[in-house]
Amino acid sequence: MMRSAILVAVMSVVTILLRFLPFIVFRKKTPKYIAYLGKVLPPAIIGMLVVFCLKDITPLAHPFGIPELIAAACVVGLQIWKRNALVSILAGTAVYMALVQLVF
């Protein structure tokens, strides 16, 4: 158990270091290039996370990613219409749960 405690501590410390590193390295003054990355990365990384979440879709085998496609379209449509993230997320998740439990 001591060994497991050390491993948990290692995971914790390394994760903390990764999160703090940019703040420590660029504490005094943020180089222009890093400031530029800080500005353009958020939309790019959110795009990356969207693809990451959808990575287990099987386009060539049942259910062909159809539940994901329909639910994702609901989220996008509702977000454009209502501009309320909570509504889009809850409705999109409900649609997805209904599709995977009742239809596919």
Contact set with another protein (CB under 8 A): 3-4, 6-12, 14-16, 18-23, 26, 30, 33-56, 67-68, 71-72, 75-76, 79-80, 83, 85-86, 88-90, 92-93, 96-97, 99-101
In whole angstroms, how far apart are CA 67 and each of 57, 58, 77, 100? 10, 11, 15, 7
Instruction: Give the pair of three-digit tokens for residue 51.
Output: 């693809």
The residue (of 50 and 64) whose beta carbon lies closer to another protein is 50
For residue 86, the minimal CB distance to another protein (Å) is 5
Residue type present at position 96: Y
Q: Residue 104 gets which letter from DSSP?
A: -
